[in-house]
């Protein structure tokens, strides 16, 4: 094998992700399930290939990079009670039910839990998705949150300084009051992490359970005038803004 052959080989999960077929994590699952072959042989995690010369197949279907060159970036308003996946074994409504007419397979970047709504980014650009999900990037995500009770100054300070959860201390959050009445109130929170159900857990710790949660912005991309279930392509300005942050 010559030197040029060696440097062109990459890990299979990276190849599959960069072609926009699925996320890197899902690609690893496909490999573990024995659904990926290279030149007719089933491969294991850690295997490498040259996308230009090796025959890579998923479920018997050839991966062709020439058909995956068009990069697509979408923002979507996920409604409540919608699963942030393209398929669901339990038969629940998924994001895939709403994204029609794109012409290529896109997948969600990150998650919004089942009972939350708001902004979700979808793409077929695996490198873009991986950068957006990297913890070290500390991508800001902003939410409008309806909580039970009225947030007092002491708890506001705790949220701004960080809350100790079971999986460690959170980073400081930007928190502002929006409106209130005697029973509940709305606040705006910006966090820089992606822990599971993080905002719900933070507010539970200060005795203000969440009754509604809507993500309104991700790193300068705003939900805008989108209504639940609607989507649109990112504008060049929105995309350039995110790319500059990377």
pLDDT of residue 5: 40
Is the four-CA dihedral 125, 246, 130, 88 of positive or negative sign? negative
Q: In CATH, what number is assigned to the domain containing residue 42?
A: 3.10.290.10
pLDDT of residue 20: 67
Per-residue pLDDT of the chain (246 residues; tens, 9 = 90+): 333 344 468 888 888 877 767 777 888 999 999 999 999 899 999 899 887 778 888 988 887 665 555 789 999 999 999 999 888 889 999 999 999 888 788 889 988 999 999 999 999 887 788 888 877 778 899 999 999 999 999 999 999 999 999 999 999 999 999 998 889 999 999 999 988 899 999 999 999 999 999 999 998 899 999 999 999 999 988 988 887 776
Total residue count of the chain as it appears in this document: 246
| Claim to verify: residue 201 and residue 87 sit in the same structural domain | no
182's torsion region: left (phi>0), alpha (psi -120 to 50) or beta? alpha
CA atoms lying within 13 Å on the CB side of residue 132: 26
| Claim to verify: residue 88 and residue 54 sit in the same structural domain | no
What is the domain count for the chain?
3
| Claim to verify: residue 153 and residue 214 sit in the same structural domain | yes
Domain extent, residue 23, equals 3-68
Q: Is 36 helix (H, G, I), strand (E, B) or coil?
A: strand
| Claim to verify: residue 171 and residue 149 sit in the same structural domain | yes
pLDDT of residue 8: 62
113 is catalytic: yes
pLDDT of residue 69: 56
Which residues are paired to 87 by β-bridges? Answer: none
CB crowding 2-25: b at 16 or more within 10 Å, else e: eeeeeeebebbbbbbbbbbbbbbe
Question: Of the candidates 156, 167, 226, 229, which has an alpha carbon nearest to the alpha carbon of residue 195?
Answer: 167
Cα(69)–Cα(77) distance, integer angstroms: 26
| Claim to verify: residue 119 and residue 173 sit in the same structural domain | no
What Å distances lie between residue 245 and 8, 89, 160, 191, CA to CA? 28, 36, 23, 16
| Claim to verify: residue 127 and residue 147 sit in the same structural domain | no
Q: Is 147 helix (H, G, I), strand (E, B) or coil?
A: strand
Annotated catalytic residue, options 50, 54, 113, 127: 113
Q: Is 71 helix (H, G, I), strand (E, B) or coil?
A: coil
| Claim to verify: residue 81 and residue 189 sit in the same structural domain | no
Q: Which residue has the tokens 């606040």?
A: 187
């Amino acid at each position: 094998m010559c030197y040029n052959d060696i440097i062109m080989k990459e890990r299979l999960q990276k190849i599959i992700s960069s072609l926009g077929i699925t996320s890197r994590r899902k690609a690893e699952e496909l490999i573990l399930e024995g659904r990926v072959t290279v030149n007719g042989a089933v491969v294991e995690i850690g295997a490498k290939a040259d996308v230009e010369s090796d025959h890579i197949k998923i479920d018997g279907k050839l991966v062709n990079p020439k058909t995956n060159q068009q990069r697509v970036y979408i923002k979507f308003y996920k409604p409540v009670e919608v699963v942030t996946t393209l398929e669901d074994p339990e038969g629940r409504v998924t994001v895939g039910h709403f994204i029609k007419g794109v012409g290529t397979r896109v997948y969600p970047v990150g998650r919004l839990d089942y009972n939350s709504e708001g902004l979700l980014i979808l793409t077929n650009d695996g490198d873009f998705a991986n950068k957006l999900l990297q913890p070290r990037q500390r991508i800001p995500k902003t939410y409008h949150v309806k909580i039970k009770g009225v947030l007092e100054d002491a708890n506001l300070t705790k949220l701004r300084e960080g809350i100790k959860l079971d999986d460690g201390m959170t980073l400081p959050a930007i928190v502002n009051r929006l409106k209130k009445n005697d029973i509940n109130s709305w606040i705006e929170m910006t966090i820089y992490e992606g822990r599971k159900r993080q905002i719900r857990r933070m507010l539970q710790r200060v005795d203000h359970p969440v009754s509604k949660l809507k993500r309104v912005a991700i790193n300068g991309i705003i939900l805008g005038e989108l209504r639940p279930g609607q989507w649109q392509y990112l504008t060049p300005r929105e995309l350039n803004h995110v790319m500059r942050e990377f």
